[in-house]
Structure 1
């Protein structure tokens, strides 16, 4: 009997790498999705060292490019593999307002829209699994976010907290909306808050800006391994095989506050997202 297959976005470092190692150690084959080939190869070697040589493979994808997401999905889907677990982990924090290749503000464009299109294009392969699980790494920062329906790209009054909070709120609403659409199937979708994890998110690779702050605060953060525990729980545990549309923290379902529980906003976001990424239905 072949091993189950998992896929992790942003698998080259931090929580994504820790999650990939955890899934591989649990006996799954892991597709590590990374933007950088060099960093991806380094991470792949770490997973293979930790869990065995044939446990993982690297596939490249830029979640800031709809064209590259479509290329990736076509390549993966052509293999015909059932995808048992998808962990949407990749995320960016943009200290300055930047745009994706498709012209969207980077945090809403990558954290939400990139993963929205990525998930929708792989959905048939997830539904082909005996019990497919989609795990969306969100954040408690959603509480400070709001959906700017008139200006998702934050052309006016941009700040990093506003952009990141909006994207993480969108993650949760996407998970809830998709769970409703998958009701009656064997595929589940849940989101989670990993806790305050010490990763390189928000640190500029070009300038190193933010690195000293991370060093200063690191003793107060969870390790990536600790931060990955809830994602691994949702991906692997039989305890949550029937849970869907829920939001988890420390392996426990949590009540959602205000905007994240708003069904009308969730449907408006779904409609906008479908149009933004060029999907119909």
Structure 2
């Protein structure tokens, strides 16, 4: 598909799935805004994307997704620079081995994996609406299917197991996707969630725990490459086959069912309200 004249944002695009997603969109002719925390690694990734794709319309913007102020500042800078946004891909994620708080006082796994895409999308809604038909793609994980949601302990204060907390955050991403899609009905903004599969990225290694490193090492022969993991994100971002499709979950480039609990409409609304309260929106 030709994405010439389209503007796309990909968060966490300095490596792994995000980088491959940005590259694929660049090869389709899009203007791609890569959003990373580290300027040096971001510059390296952008240079490689430009070299491989032959597309010079690759922009690097810096944002610390664990900081709500940084997210708001990035959104403002983006809208000052660009007058349209056709595709927003909330790709960035992190597994944190030990419970720690962000500068805002949020538990970090929750902040990076769930609060960040929630807030970033919220801050960019005006330009997404102005660019309609536009698309928002949130990345979740198959781990969300085994996760639980405790609205009374979103910050994991009672107990912290990195795998469980990560899974819960990714469940929240799915539920937020469905609730946002419902709220944005008839605006021309399609909001969908992607399960990329078990992909060989830096995500598992960032947890730092010996158990996680051993597990990811043993599973390596069964992992998808980052390029394979990016295929569904790219499909949902660009395919004309799903024009207007919203509030759906995709895996391996087809619609799939998410966790049963994720379809609980009342719980979706309760999570939305709790998140709005946390972020003071």
* TM-score bin (small chain): over 0.9
Q: More helix by proportion, 1 or 2?
A: 2
Please point out which of 197, 200, 221 is paired with 1:198.
Answer: 200
1:68 paired residue number: 70
Gaps of 5+ in 2: none
Is this contact kept in 2: 1:204–1:210, CA < 8 A?
no
After superposition, what is the alpha-carbon deviation per residue over 1:19-74, rounded to whole angstroms, capped at 9, x for unaligned? 00000001101000000111111111111111125131100001100111111111
Gaps of 5+ in 1: none
Is this contact kept in 2: 1:113–1:273, CA < 8 A?
yes
Q: Are 2:85 and 1:83 equivalent residues in the alignment?
A: yes
Question: Equivalents in 2 of 1:77, 1:208: separation in Å?
Answer: 42
1:34 paired residue number: 36
1:254 paired residue number: 256
TM-score normalised according to structure 1 size: 0.94
After superposition, what is the alpha-carbon deviation per residue over 1:124-147, rounded to whole angstroms, capped at 9, x for unaligned? 111111410000111111111122
Is this contact kept in 1: 2:68–2:104, CA < 8 A?
yes
User: Deviation at 1:77?
Assistant: 1.3
Question: Equivalents in 2 of 1:37, 1:209: separation in Å?
Answer: 31
Is this contact kept in 1: 2:34–2:59, CA < 8 A?
yes
Aligned length: 279
After superposition, what is the alpha-carbon deviation per residue over 1:190-239, rounded to whole angstroms, capped at 9, x for unaligned? 00100100000032398999556544432210000000011000000001
Is this contact kept in 1: 2:4–2:28, CA < 8 A?
no
2:273 paired residue number: 271
Q: Which SS does the other structure have where 2:60 is aligned? A: strand
Q: Are 2:130 and 1:133 equivalent residues in the alignment?
A: no
- When residues 56 and 80 of structure 1 are mapped into structure 2, their CA distance, relative to the original with a 3 A threshold, is closer
Question: Equivalents in 1 of 2:180, 2:202: separation in Å?
Answer: 29
What RMSD, in angstroms, separates the aligned Cα atoms of the two structures?
1.9
Is this contact kept in 2: 1:95–1:202, CA < 8 A?
no
